[in-house]
Every structure is written in C-alpha cells, then in structure tokens.
C-alpha cells in the first residue's frame, strides 16, 4: 500500500493531468451529440477490428486441426482410388480391402547422400511392415526398410539400391526406376525398349508389377532421353513430382494380398 502511495505522490502531476483530461473528454462527449456519435462510431470500429483480429488468430490456430481433417479425407480418397470400390471402403472390416492407407509424417529426411532414408512416425504398432510402399500427395517416396514399435525408416527413391517397377502412363511399356546419385529432383527410368515412342513431358507412373505399389501412382515426367545403342534401350531422366527436399505428410500403402502373392510366387519358384 505504501508503494502505491509513493507512486502517486511521485507522479502526482501526471496523474492529475490524465484524470482531468479523461474527465474533460467524458464531459464533452456527454454534452454534445456530435461527439457522442463520433465516439460510438470509433468504439464500433475498434470493437470490429478486435473481433476480426481475434477471429484471424483463432483461425490460424485451428489450421492444424483442419489440416488433419483434410489429410484424413485425402487418405480415404486414396483408398477409394487404389481399390476402385466405394462400397468396400464403407465396410467396417477394412481387411477386405486390397489396399489400406496409413497416414503419418516424416520426422527426418536425407536427400544429398548416395543412400538416402526417411524416418516416419509410423511403426509396428500402427500396422507398418517391411516392404510397404510410401507415397505423398504428389507421388511415390520409397519403400519401408525397417520398423520399430512407433517408427519406420523408408528407403528413399533417392537411394542407389532403389529399384521400382514403373511405366509410361497409358501404355504397357515397363521399366525399372533407379537413381544415379546426381540430382535430388531427377531419377532414371531404364529398360524401356527402343521401339517405344517417347515424348518429353510424358508422365511416368508405377507399373503395378510388384506387390508393393498399386498401379498408376504418379512419379514424374520425362525430362530428357537418349538411346543406349549398345543395349537397344532408352536411358530416361524423369523429373520428379515430389519435392524430395520438402517432405512432411506421408501415406503408407498396405497390400492386404501381399502375403498370398508372395507365398504363391515362392511355391512356383520351388517347383521350377
């Protein structure tokens, strides 16, 4: 209390001036209709701007929830796309789907090494297993290599050991997608025969000839190509749709028929 009294005594002139000023303003507004209208219009302007700013701040902090909802909807739409059957999606038993989609995020990403990997926040507890395909909203990202309870490492397509089946869109000409270790935004498509008509800008998609990725997932476009005369195949540079230096939301693809396919193929190989 004594400190308050000392403060008032120290700044008594300022306090007196402000008090008289507020009193004068109050008396002026109260006794003149013009000043009253100006005051109330100004107060409405201040209040309106306050609520507008408050709404903007609230909207900003709700973006995370909205993004989560959009990602969930994106996941559902991708399941529809991969399974081509909306009735199946609406069933409670999702094990009846050919493909399931799990949504997560990248927590670590390398793209400047010879063998690049991405760590995601999905693991065995979420149903992730080795050799599952991983994509983003723009295209393929890689294949799950190792898993722990809550995390997984993904062998990026920017990895010298990566080899993924791919094709030229709207054709049945297949090849292998590899990486020469040069640029992080360009990979190579090999084993496309010379008889195939190619055009710069043609879209490259997954071929669906493996049990990892569904068919027709976007990869990129033909940037340039040249004929390897010694092998009669094209060497094709593919400009990626994904920005491999900027990865966040990811989708892991689970093929529910994979084990059945692998068992059949193993049985067939053993017979041969």
Top-confidence range, 88-97, 165-174, 225-234 = 165-174
- Please tell me which residue, 91 or 190, carries the higher pLDDT value: 190
Q: What is the pLDDT of residues 228-262, one digit of tens each?
A: 777 789 999 999 999 999 998 899 998 888 777 77
- Please tell me which residue, 1 or 209, carries the higher pLDDT value: 209
Q: What is the CATH number of domain 66-271?
A: 2.40.10.340
Is the predicted pLDDT of residue 160 greater than 90, yes or no?
yes
- Contact between 98 and 83 (Cβ < 8 Å): yes
Q: What is the pLDDT of residues 98-117, one digit of tens each?
A: 888 898 999 999 999 999 99
pLDDT of residue 177: 95
Q: What is the pLDDT of residues 66-85, one digit of tens each?
A: 566 566 656 566 666 667 65
- Contact between 234 and 194 (Cβ < 8 Å): yes
DSSP-assigned states of every residue in the chain: -HHHHHHHHHTHHHHHHHHHHHHHHHHHHHH-HHHHHHHHHHHHHHHHHHHHHHHHHHHHHTHHHHHHHHHHHHHHHHHHHHH--HHHHTSS-GGGSSEEEEEEEEEEE--SSSEEEEEES--GGGT--TT-EEE-SSSEEEEEEEE-SS-EEEEEEEETT--EEEEETTS--EEEEE--SS-TTEEEEEEEETTS---TT-EEEE---SSSS-TT-EEEEEEEEEEETTTTEEEEEEEESS-TTS--EEEEEEETTHHHHHHHHHHHHHH-
Label residue 27 by pLDDT band (50, 70, 90): low
Is the predicted pLDDT of residue 53 greater than 70, yes or no?
no
Label residue 46 by pLDDT band (50, 70, 90): very low
Average pLDDT, the chain: 78
pLDDT of residue 229: 73
Label residue 94 by pLDDT band (50, 70, 90): very low
Is the predicted pLDDT of residue 162 greater than 60, yes or no?
yes
User: Where are the chain's structural domains?
Assistant: 2-61, 66-271
- Beta-carbon contacts of 155 under 8 Å, excluding residues fewer than 6 positions away, are 115, 117, 142, 143, 144, 145, 161, 162
186 strand-pairing partners? 239
- Please tell me which residue, 192 or 24, carries the higher pLDDT value: 192
pLDDT of residue 91: 44
pLDDT of residue 61: 52
Q: List the single range of 23-37, 180-194, 221-235, 236-250 with lowest mean pLDDT.
A: 23-37
Label residue 90 by pLDDT band (50, 70, 90): very low
Is the predicted pLDDT of residue 123 greater than 70, yes or no?
yes
């Amino acid at each position: 209390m004594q400190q308050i009294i000392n403060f008032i005594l120290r700044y008594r002139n300022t306090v007196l001036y402000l008090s008289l000023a507020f009193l004068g303003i109050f008396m002026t507004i109260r006794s003149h209709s013009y000043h009253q209208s100006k005051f109330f219009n100004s107060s409405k302007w201040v209040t309106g701007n306050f609520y507008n700013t408050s709404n903007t701040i609230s909207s900003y902090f709700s973006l995370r929830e909205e993004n989560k909802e959009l990602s969930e909807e994106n996941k559902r739409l991708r399941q529809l796309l991969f399974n081509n059957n909306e009735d199946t999606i609406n069933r409670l038993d999702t094990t009846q789907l050919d493909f399931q989609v799990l949504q997560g995020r990248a927590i670590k990403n390398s793209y400047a090494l010879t063998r690049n990997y991405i760590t995601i926040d999905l693991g065995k507890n979420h149903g992730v297993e080795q050799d599952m395909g991983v994509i983003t909203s723009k295209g393929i990202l890689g294949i799950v290599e190792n898993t722990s309870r809550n995390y997984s490492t993904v062998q990026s397509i920017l990895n010298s050991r990566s080899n993924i089946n791919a094709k030229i869109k709207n054709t049945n000409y297949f090849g292998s997608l590899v990486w020469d270790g040069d640029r992080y935004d360009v990979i190579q498509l090999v084993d496309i025969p010379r008889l195939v008509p190619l055009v710069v800008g043609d879209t490259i998609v997954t071929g669906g000839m493996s049990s990892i990725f569904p068919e027709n997932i976007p990869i990129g476009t033909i940037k340039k190509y040249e004929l390897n005369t010694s092998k009669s195949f094209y060497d094709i540079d593919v400009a990626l749709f994904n920005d491999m230096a900027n990865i966040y939301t990811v989708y892991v693809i689970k093929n529910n028929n994979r084990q059945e396919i692998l068992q059949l193929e193993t049985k067939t190989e053993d017979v041969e």
